[in-house]
């Protein structure tokens, strides 16, 4: 018996029907399947509620897009449960299949990696710690952002790498991204595109008002600390979710997490071809 938990986008009408149909199919096959309580209530499917944590599942299926995948990673809180992403929106970097392929994919997963011909794609995550007036710890699959609180002003952010001062940025913010996150906010800030199989920390300034405006690609064993200087407050966001407001002398420290995220791949996964399709690149 395979235990399968579902995480679904609350505003995609097809997510509700797909969750109900697939959970019913899994139960007929003798498997255990459920929706988290918040998702079940949002989709008006109370009969599918499971009170167990996602960490108790053998597989987490996400119904939505890359944002739903990020939410599932956050809910897993570091648990090494593989995820299978079903794309209900535009082409994403993280999702693996479209809805018509779902039951076949689940049958293949239940058969095991050898008989089912699937593999796991391990992705680096970040461990983030805030100290000072704000204290907390988080994990990120894509990025952590320290960014200005008010429009119309830059902020002063002092960056240290492995404890050694690097420089103070006058910018709208600083992004520390993983290779997976290199195609998210970091890309829009002109950061490098890095194949997600790599392990690295990407330090990218947002709209820097200074001569040095380049990204840094750092070793995964290096640690980045960002200190807020001056009187202007900053926002701390982890994978697009605002988690804290920072004040002067607050420090955010980023390092490679001990935990990884795992995605089920049912065939060759060519990151560069997804990138090509997203940007409409031609062969010549």
Q: Which residues are catalytic?
A: 66
**Cβ(120)–Cβ(262) below 8 Å:** yes
**Cβ(49)–Cβ(40) below 8 Å:** yes
For residues 20, 140, 113, 9, the Cα torsion angle rounded to the nearest 10 degrees is 10
In angstroms, the CA 9 to CA 13 distance is: 9
Query: Tokens for 132?
Result: 């000072």
E runs forming strands in the chain:
3-8, 32-35, 59-64, 83-87, 119-131, 136-140, 143-148, 155-161, 164-171, 173-177, 201-206, 216-218, 224-229, 234-238, 241-246, 251-265
Q: Say which residue the tokens 């060759």 belong to.
A: 268
Q: Report the residue count for the chain.
A: 284
In angstroms, the CA 50 to CA 231 distance is: 47
Q: Say which residue the tokens 């200074």 belong to.
A: 210
In angstroms, the CA 233 to CA 260 distance is: 31
How many helices (H) and strands (E) would you count in the chain? 7, 16
**Nearest CA-CA partner of 24 in 85, 103, 125:** 103
**Nearest CA-CA partner of 57 in 40, 75, 39:** 75
């Amino acid at each position: 018996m395979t235990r399968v938990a579902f995480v679904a986008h609350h505003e995609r009408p097809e997510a509700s029907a797909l969750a109900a149909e697939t959970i019913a199919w899994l139960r007929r096959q003798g498997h255990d399947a459920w929706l988290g309580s918040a998702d079940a209530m949002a989709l008006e499917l109370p009969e599918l509620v499971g009170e167990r944590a996602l960490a108790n599942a053998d597989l987490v299926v996400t119904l939505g897009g890359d944002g739903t995948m990020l939410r599932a990673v956050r809910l897993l809180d570091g648990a090494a449960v593989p995820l299978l992403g079903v794309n209900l929106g535009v082409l994403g970097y993280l999702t693996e299949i479209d809805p018509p392929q779902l039951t076949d994919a689940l049958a293949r997963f239940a058969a095991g990696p050898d008989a089912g011909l699937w593999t796991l794609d391990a992705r680096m995550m970040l461990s983030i710690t805030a100290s000072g007036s704000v204290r907390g710890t988080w994990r990120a699959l894509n990025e952590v952002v320290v960014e200005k609180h008010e429009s119309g002003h830059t902020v002063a952010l002092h960056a240290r790498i492995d404890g050694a001062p690097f420089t103070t940025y006058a910018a709208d913010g600083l992004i520390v991204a993983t290779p997976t996150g290199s195609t998210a906010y970091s890309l829009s800030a002109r950061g490098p595109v890095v194949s997600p199989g790599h392990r690295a920390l990407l330090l990218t300034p947002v709209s820097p008002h200074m001569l040095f405006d380049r990204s840094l690609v750092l070793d995964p064993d290096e640690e980045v600390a960002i200190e807020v200087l001056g009187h202007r407050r900053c926002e701390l966001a982890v994978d697009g979710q605002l988690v804290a407001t920072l004040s002067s002398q607050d420090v955010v420290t980023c390092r490679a997490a001990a935990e990884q995220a795992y995605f089920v791949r049912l065939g060759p996964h060519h990151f560069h071809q997804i990138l090509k399709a997203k940007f409409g690149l031609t062969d010549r």
